[in-house]
Amino acid sequence: MTSESAANMESMGQFLELNTGDRMPVLGLGTAVWNQYEEIKSAVTVALQVGYRHFDTASFYGSEGAVGAALMEAFQSGFVKREQVFVTTKLWGDEHDDPLAAISRSLKNLQLEYVDLYLVHWPLRLKKGCSNPPKEEDFLPLTMKSTWQGMETCFEMGLTKAIGVSNFSCKKMEDLLSHAKILPAVNQVEMHPMWQQKKLRDYCSKMKIQICAYSPLGGRNTRWGSSMLMDNPIIHEIAQKHGKTISQVLLRWGVEQGVCVLPKSFNKGRITENFQVLDWCLTAEDRENINKIEQWKIVRAEIHVNSTTGPYRTLEELWDGEI
Ligand SMILES: NC(=O)c1ccc[n+]([C@@H]2O[C@H](COP(=O)([O-])OP(=O)(O)OC[C@H]3O[C@@H](n4cnc5c(N)ncnc54)[C@H](OP(=O)(O)O)[C@@H]3O)[C@@H](O)[C@H]2O)c1
């Protein structure tokens, strides 16, 4: 299946071209799980066998080491080559003052010479080594101009093939674009049928910035997620009609919107199920029905808001009213 499914992906054009000219596989494996080294490593190995060639990690998750170990084994055995795999990692809030040192740590954890995409994880600057959730005194003023210059240095030094952001509203993208020398290639945000991000997608598409959808299944059983998306009756009806699973309908919808989807599963059956979304289509009627779903942002990130020391005193401020 492995090389065959990767070949299928190729023939079906299931890559997205970034504004750098590089290609990103439209489907990637999420790894936002803490303290589960063996489970993460084994999920990445299974995913590679199933055909995944895109892995999403972050220094904050602590999953870089396990992702890197699984990839290294696959490279050493000759199963895949480095250039066939797309790896994303992210700069955490307490790393804004030195992106170069941060990416060097991430690369060491990943056992890689470069990543394919390096993202500013949140528009949030925090005190070094602060706890999670951050305490009132841990928030620092955001200094995106110097953070982005550091990101640009990482790119210019070849430590990452592309740079981008995550959790940025249209307003924050505009601010960034006003001083960026190198345009962000990606904005990774929550996106699924219940939070379709139409305004942000229009803006990013105009600016040639690719959207990647995190929590595409609504993040069920995570600290930040909910099962409300997977319980949605409209999605259930569509799944039943096509003989597909709920998760497949959700992921297929994202793929058809032209975004990259990043489901997390560490279960072999579900890793496989989630990959089977590249060879069938939703109908126009399905899409119309999905458009009727009431919009609700699941990942609200209240922990990044505080009324005294933080740059964001309310959720409205964090998301610039786009919530
Ligand atoms: N940039 C950011 O700020 C940010 C924020 C959140 C997430 N992310 C990225 O996006 C990735 C995915 O988002 P997420 O982890 O929030 O949640 P998600 O992918 O929306 O959902 C994950 C949950 O769904 C379950 N699941 C997966 N496939 C399933 C299936 N076919 N049927 C039923 N349940 C299924 C998983 O359980 P099992 O493992 O048991 O299958 C897990 O509990 C993260 O891992 C991370 O890489 C980024």
**Strands (DSSP E) found in the chain:** 15-17, 23-25, 29-30, 54-56, 86-91, 117-120, 125-126, 139-140, 163-166, 186-190, 210-214, 260-261
Calculate how far, in angstroms, residue 307's C-alpha sits from the geometric centre of ligand 1.
30
Find residue 210's DSSP bridge partners: 186
CB 138 within 8 A of CB 130: yes
Residue-number span of the structural domain to which 145 is assigned: 2-318
What the block records as the tokens of 68 is 């890197």
What integer pLDDT is reported at residue 11 of this predicted model?
41
d(CA 294, CA 248): 20
Find residue 30's DSSP bridge partners: 56
Q: Closest residue (by CA) to atom 26 of ligand 1?
A: 265
Calculate how far, in angstroms, residue 182's C-alpha sits from the geometric centre of ligand 1.
30
Task: Establish if 276 belongs to a structural domain.
Answer: yes
| pTM for this entry | 0.96
Task: Establish if 196 belongs to a structural domain.
Answer: yes
Find residue 25's DSSP bridge partners: 15
Task: Establish if 291 belongs to a structural domain.
Answer: yes
Catalytic residue IDs: 61
| pLDDT block averages, 10 residues each, the chain of length 323 | 48 81 98 95 98 97 97 98 98 98 98 98 95 90 96 98 98 98 98 98 98 98 95 98 98 97 98 96 98 96 87 92 89
Task: Establish if 278 belongs to a structural domain.
Answer: yes
Q: Which atom of ligand 1 is nearest to the CA of 216?
A: 20
Mutation probe of ligand 1 site: the residue of 265, 297, 318 with most atoms within 8 A of C-beta:
265
Task: Establish if 323 belongs to a structural domain.
Answer: no
Mutation probe of ligand 1 site: the residue of 63, 167, 214, 253 with most atoms within 8 A of C-beta:
214
CB 122 within 8 A of CB 309: no
What integer pLDDT is reported at residue 136 of this predicted model?
86
Task: Establish if 275 belongs to a structural domain.
Answer: yes
CB 50 within 8 A of CB 275: yes
Q: Which atom of ligand 1 is nearest to the CA of 229?
A: 20
Q: 62: Cβ below 6 Å to ligand 1?
A: no
d(CA 21, CA 177): 19
Calculate how far, in angstroms, residue 265's C-alpha sits from the geometric centre of ligand 1.
6
Q: 247: Cβ below 6 Å to ligand 1?
A: yes
**CATH code (residue 230):** 3.20.20.100
What integer pLDDT is reported at residue 306 of this predicted model?
86
Task: Establish if 180 belongs to a structural domain.
Answer: yes
Task: Check residue 158 and give left, alpha or beta (phi > 0: left; psi -120 to 50: alpha).
Answer: left
Task: Establish if 163 belongs to a structural domain.
Answer: yes
Q: 55: Cβ below 6 Å to ligand 1?
A: no
Q: 64: Cβ below 6 Å to ligand 1?
A: no
Q: Which residues of 195-233 are buried (b: 16+ CB within 10 A; e: fewer)?
A: bbbeebbebbeeeebbbbbbbbbbbbebeebbeebbebe
Look at the chain and report how many structural domains it folds into: 1
Calculate how far, in angstroms, residue 145's C-alpha sits from the geometric centre of ligand 1.
31
Strands 139-140 and 125-126: antiparallel
Strands 15-17 and 125-126: unpaired
Q: How far is CA 124 from the centre of its chain?
A: 17
Q: Is the bond leading into 99 cis (omega within 30 degrees of zero)?
A: no
Calculate how far, in angstroms, residue 86's C-alpha sits from the geometric centre of ligand 1.
18
Q: Supply the DSSP string of 19-75, one letter for each residue.
A: TTS-EEESB-EE---SS-HHHHHHHHHHHHHHT--EEE--TTTT-HHHHHHHHHHHH
Span 30-63, pLDDT tens digits: 999 998 999 999 999 999 999 999 999 999 999 9
For residue 187, the number of C-alpha atoms closer than 13 Å in the C-beta half-sphere is 25
